[in-house]
Chain A
Amino acid sequence: MDAFQLLLWPLLACIAIAGIHAYLGFHVVERGVIFVDLALAQVAALGATVGFLVGHDLHSPSSGWFSIAAVVVGAGLLAVLKADRRRIPQEAFIGIVYAVAAATAILIVDRTPEGAEHIKFMFVGNLLAASPDEVARLAILYAAIGILHFLWRKPFFAISRGETGAMGRTEVRLWDFLFYLTFGLVVTQSVAVAGVLLVFSYLIVPSVVAMLLADGARVRLAIGWIVGVLVSVAGMIASYHFDLPTGATVVTTFGVALALALAYRAVVPRGAEGGGETRRAGRT
């Protein structure tokens, strides 16, 4: 049981991350804001960098507050910049926020003696180093934000589906702000534990696999969670068995899961399964 004991906390961290990200990924894919996690993670890192410049260590609690403040600003920006969505796609703004935040961090780092190495640590993550404390912290934060999302599910899902007819512009912006804020808080914590690549995969792949296999929101969410947990377990086993870097192995396993879903879709075309899948049977 040695291997199991050693990999228990990293695996639990993965499962916690899968839990919230497969859900958030549903919104992110529906809204077409695929890279928003990278942008917000970068904004959080920029906040920590500013904190670093004025003398707070990158792993101290006070540095965390700088990150959170930056995420609040970033969420506000993304909510406001959505206004002109018809002419300028939201992804354009997200890309710009990402690039400018990353570049600003470099300019700030240029003023600090230790340089960029510590900033890089923020994006690498170290899954195998996940401690029981960290996993507990993740689980509590994710559960709290999960509850908020459950309470606010109506506006969040309505906006994600583009059904904003009944809402005023300010109202939409407020909900968007809350969405990006909670999202930013989640992503910042997950990136610190698992790294950018892995968090991106947990967010997008389960959701896309689910879209390939089913239509209804609930089924898609269920599939997303199952895919997230399965890939975590399979990735960990593969990483152990072949002794490969764990984060990269799990990301690649996500690629395999997507390939399997695509293969299934190629063999069993949409609509051939009958049942509730006829709605989008796009064989026109």
Chain B
Amino acid sequence: MKPTFRTNALRIRRLLAAPVAVLIAAGYFFAGVPHGEAAKKIDVVTTTQDLASIATMIGGDRVRVESLSKGYQDPHFVDAKPSYLLKLRKAALYVQVGRDLEAGWAPGLLNNARNSKIRPGGPGFVDASNGVKILEQGGRVGREMGDVHPLGNPHYWLDPENGLVIAANIRDALFRNDPAGRASYQGRYEQFERQLRSRLDAWRSRAKALGLNGMNVVTYHRSWPYAAKAFGFDVKDYVEPRPGVPPSPKHIQGLTRMMKDENVRLLILEPYFDPKLPAQIAKNAGAALVVLPPSVGAVPEAKDYFSLFDAQLALLQKALAAGGRS
């Protein structure tokens, strides 16, 4: 027996009542959201907490800084929330790491935020990598030759010296967008530079004391070439043969042998990868496994751009004291 047309029509009408009610409620809900008042402070939105920390140090009281991703998240993959769009909508400045780090999620959000100021080419768009000496960069040819990302390795904030370039990029953007604050921004930039330089000396001597200079290490992902450059260690190989591809048994075998032959004492891992396999490799090769925070906010101690490096060096010290061969 088939349902008659009449009962169908009745049922459909009944079924339609609920959706109409919900739609009306939705209308009230959205209409009831208050308009964002034009704030006196300059709204700065960054993609990562590292950039947010530097922007706070340069902007001081004149800015309100928010980071979209959190330091414990893999910045390649960020689950977007509606508030990201709202933040981008009212932002005067948008600061990104660039070099395709956020390519999977940020460009679409920028488009949908309907804020022409912060789109690429707008006065509020800041690619913090401008002027940074990018490593592992190559064009089309480089890609075919080997393991090169066309826009280069994007983890440049892990060399404190690049922090200065980031800070200068943010300062210049603030000059453009808030000329009245020029003196304040310049003063804060100079203060940042002085602090960073004096701390950099301290970090370098600490790294030297730990024996990091010239030390052979293996890393999981390719996040650390800039840190290697800053602190003098030498990345011999990676656990991941290609980003995102699990290693083959042969690769693990070769890696372990190489680690023994080359006296690799450290295996550095990012906190968002599974430590099981790296731990095993480190154990077999007699190296110490250390999970290093790659960003501000990845561990509680890494509160800002300066304490990030303090935290990294403290963890390295602990790992070297506890394990590995002498």
Contacts and interface: CB of A to CB of B under 8 A. Distances in A.
Given A2-B86, A112-B242, A126 B31 contact: no
B107 A4 contact: no
Which of A3, A241, A244 has most chain B Cβ within 10 Å? A3
Contacts of B105: 126, 129
Contacts of B144: 113
Contact of B19 (A9, A119, A229): A229
Contacts of B81: 128, 239, 243-246
Interface string B1-43: 1111001100110011011001100100111010110000000
A3 B111 contact: no
Nearest to A195: B79
Interface in B232-276: 240-246, 248
A117 B241 contact: no
Interface residues of A, number: 56
A110 interface: yes
Contacts of A241: 29
Interface in B54-92: 76-77, 79-86, 89
A129 B108 contact: yes
A115 B243 contact: yes
Interface in A230-272: 230, 233-234, 236-237, 239-241, 243-248
Given A240-B82, A276-B2, A4 B244 contact: no
Contact of B149 (A113, A127, A219): A113
Interface size class of B (residues with CB under 8 A): 35 or more
B109 interface: yes
Contact of A116 (B8, B29, B112, B244): B244
Given A110-B242, A114-B243, A116-B245, A243 B18 contact: no
Interface stretch (A33-41, A153-161, A164-172, A210-218): A210-218
Contacts, number: 154
A14 B36 CA distance: 27
Contacts of A277: 3
Contacts of B114: 5-6
Interface in A109-163: 109-110, 112-117, 119-121, 124, 126-131
B121 interface: no
A198 to B, nearest CB: 12
Nearest to B241: A110
Which of B77, B80, B111 has most chain A Cβ within 10 Å? B80
A12 to B, nearest CB: 12
Contacts of B230: none
B113 interface: yes
Contacts of B85: 6-7, 128
Given A3-B86, A226-B16, A126 B80 contact: yes
A279 to B, nearest CB: 6
A117 B154 CA distance: 14
Nearest to A248: B79
B143 A246 contact: no
Contacts of A279: 1-2
Nearest to B240: A115
A62 interface: no
A163 to B, nearest CB: 15
B77 A120 contact: yes
A121 B76 CA distance: 9
A72 interface: no
A234 B22 contact: yes
A3 B109 contact: no
A106 interface: yes
A242 B322 CA distance: 44
Given A229-B19, A243-B82, A2 B89 contact: yes
Given A230-B19, A247-B79, A131 B112 contact: yes
A7 B82 contact: yes
A4 B15 contact: no
A109 B244 contact: yes
A99 to B, nearest CB: 16
B67 to A, nearest CB: 15
Interface in A6-23: 6-7, 9-10
User: What are the 10 tightest A-B residue pairs by CB atom distance, in nearest-first order?
Assistant: A129-B108, A276-B3, A116-B244, A115-B243, A115-B242, A245-B79, A4-B30, A275-B7, A128-B80, A115-B244
Given A113-B242, A116-B245, 19 more contacts: A3-B86, A6-B82, A106-B246, A113-B143, A115-B244, A126-B105, A126-B109, A128-B85, A128-B108, A129-B105, A214-B3, A216-B2, A226-B18, A233-B22, A234-B22, A239-B81, A245-B81, A246-B81, A276-B3
